[in-house]
Amino acid sequence: MTLRTIAVVCCLLLAGCAAPVAPSPSPDGDRLGVENGYAATDDLAVDASDGLNESELDAVVARTMARVELVRGLEFRETVPVEVISREEYLNGSSRDTTVDTPAERAREQRYEAAMLVGEDRTVGGAFAEIYGGSVLGYYSSASDRIVLVSGNETPTVDRTTLAHELMHALQDQRLSLLGGADNPDEATAQTGVVEGDASYVEAKYEERCDAEWDCIPLPESSSAGGVADRNLGLYLTVYAPYSEGPTLVHRVRQRGGWAAVNDLYVRPPESSEQLIHPSDYPEDRPASVTVPDRSTAAFDRASATRMGEATLFAMLWQQRAIDRGTLRSEPGPYSAYNYSHPATEGWAGDKLVPYFDADSDDPAADGYVLKTRWESDRDARQFARAYRGLLTESLNATVDGEGVYRVADGSFEDAFRVTRDGNVVRIVNAPTVDALNEVHDP
């Protein structure tokens, strides 16, 4: 599995592409499909043997801008600068902090532990660092309104599809929005699904025209992006959900109302990853309100609640092999890479995750949490509860220690769990020990 795009930073893969030579300029740089003297229909002489010098890169960028705006039906307001930096420069400027010092960081540790994606043997920051590694090869910076390419060569070669993708982000920034400001990570995934879904959809449409009518620089033979370790695959799926599921949502919305309807997504974006995974649920099927009353003792301090969402719950069961992993590639939606829908999670209606910190310890391993999930029906709740209990007993080798109580004796998720179902609600309580379960949440 190759990582091409991550979160708000999209990877611009550098490989052996062609360079333009002596293109014919177009007469009007202000009309749709013409940028800086280059028209979308211009042919460029190519020479990929020595990469792209500055003038060649400028020509490729200008023509790609013209093509992106022609595909999307929106005009760039400004030229987008493209800068090339070395891998060393990128790594020196990237945050590699893997400490857990603040309550927000401590709560994040509990969120990913509750999702069974990052255990107590490592930090969330460290886990993400393993995914990013040397895989990020470029990004669009909204703060400086520029694209940065990360390259080992002074004269870069460019993947036409990912350049189009990054330029679409610049166009969004100039004409629409990059969204943001979500109240919880699940809503943030949904909003990112609009931004990345639109960019990926435009990228796909760009490729269709390269195949049918445009003269395009060749695609690189291979990417230098690194792979993702097996223990990080589930975490990768939570990051990749907007890129996989967003294009299908954009495609469905465009089918119904054209690009104007897609533009409206930026005004009224989906509220949950469920609406990305199931586009027919947008916009009517909003997340149900779920509350978790505080039933902890003085031994634990309650932290701010958040929402996991369907995409993360799917990634949890997939990572721990509690569901058939083969369904991920089975019948994905149009323009999507994967299928995040599964009977064990597709009935999701809402959830609430509340971390609880040990009052006498700064060690996240001493903390606990309550995860309360609400489902569309009792049957949906049973399917999730069955899969989750299987995760504990079969994947984590948990032993039963009372009615609904499980104990994972060793490993990175060594803890006690209480799993109960009441109608369409499944409640999971986690604590370091069986005796501490009632201290986190008295039943």
Secondary structure of 197-265 as H, E, C letters? HHHHHHHHHHHHHHHHCCCCCCCCCCCCCCECCHHHHHHHHHHHHHHHHHHHHHHHHHHHHHHHHHHHH
In terms of phi and psi (left: phi > 0; alpha: psi -120 to 50; beta: otherwise), the region of 354 is beta
CB atoms within 10 A of CB 284: 7
Q: What is the pLDDT of residues 224-276, one digit of tens each?
A: 445 677 778 999 999 999 999 999 999 999 999 999 999 999 999 999 999 99
Q: How far is residue 265 CA from its own chain's centroid?
A: 18
- Residue 275, amino acid: Q
Distance CA 257, CA 110 (A): 41
Question: Shortest CA distance to 94 belongs to which of 13, 152, 170, 148?
Answer: 148
Where are the chain's structural domains? 5-94+136-280, 287-440
Distance CA 209, CA 207 (A): 5
pLDDT number for residue 17: 30
Question: Shortest CA distance to 127 belongs to which of 240, 219, 235?
Answer: 235
Distance CA 1, CA 235 (A): 13
Distance CA 52, CA 60 (A): 9
Question: Does 394 have pLDDT greater than 70?
Answer: yes
Residue 84, classed as helix, strand or coil, is strand
- pLDDT-derived band at 9, boundaries 50, 70, 90: very low
pLDDT number for residue 367: 97
- pLDDT-derived band at 217, boundaries 50, 70, 90: confident
Distance CA 324, CA 344 (A): 10
**H-type alpha helices, 266-377:** 273-277, 310-319
- Asked if the peptide bond before residue 283 counts as cis, ω within 30 degrees of 0, the response is yes
Distance CA 287, CA 269 (A): 13
Distance CA 262, CA 292 (A): 36
Question: Does 168 have pLDDT greater than 90?
Answer: yes
Are the C-beta atoms of residues 343 and 412 closer than 8 Å to each other?
no
Nearest-5° angle of CA 58, CA 62, CA 64? 120
Structure-model confidence comparison of residues 93 and 127, the more confident one: 127
Question: Shortest CA distance to 190 belongs to which of 91, 107, 96, 312?
Answer: 312
Average pLDDT, the chain: 88
Question: Does 91 have pLDDT greater than 80?
Answer: no
Average pLDDT over residues 156-176: 90
Distance CA 300, CA 289 (A): 25
Mention the CATH class of domain 287-440.
alpha beta
Both structure tokens of 398:
């948990």
Burial 17-41 (b: 16+ CB within 10 A, else e): bbbbeebeebeebeeebbbbbbbbe
Are the C-beta atoms of residues 54 and 79 closer than 8 Å to each other?
no
Question: Shortest CA distance to 417 belongs to which of 436, 435, 430?
Answer: 430
Question: Does 93 have pLDDT greater than 80?
Answer: no
Question: Does 16 have pLDDT greater than 50?
Answer: no
- pLDDT-derived band at 137, boundaries 50, 70, 90: low
Distance CA 119, CA 413 (A): 5
Question: Does 134 have pLDDT greater than 80?
Answer: no
pLDDT number for residue 135: 65
Phi, psi of 330 (to 5 degrees): -95, 115
Is the sign of the CA dihedral 52, 54, 59, 62 positive or negative?
A: positive
Distance CA 190, CA 274 (A): 8
Which of 8-17, 122-131, 324-333 shows the lowest per-residue confidence on average (mean pLDDT)? 8-17
Alpha carbon separation from 435 to 168, 248, 416 (Å, rounded): 54, 47, 9
pLDDT number for residue 1: 33
Q: Which of 87-101, 207-221, 311-325 has the highest mean pLDDT?
A: 311-325
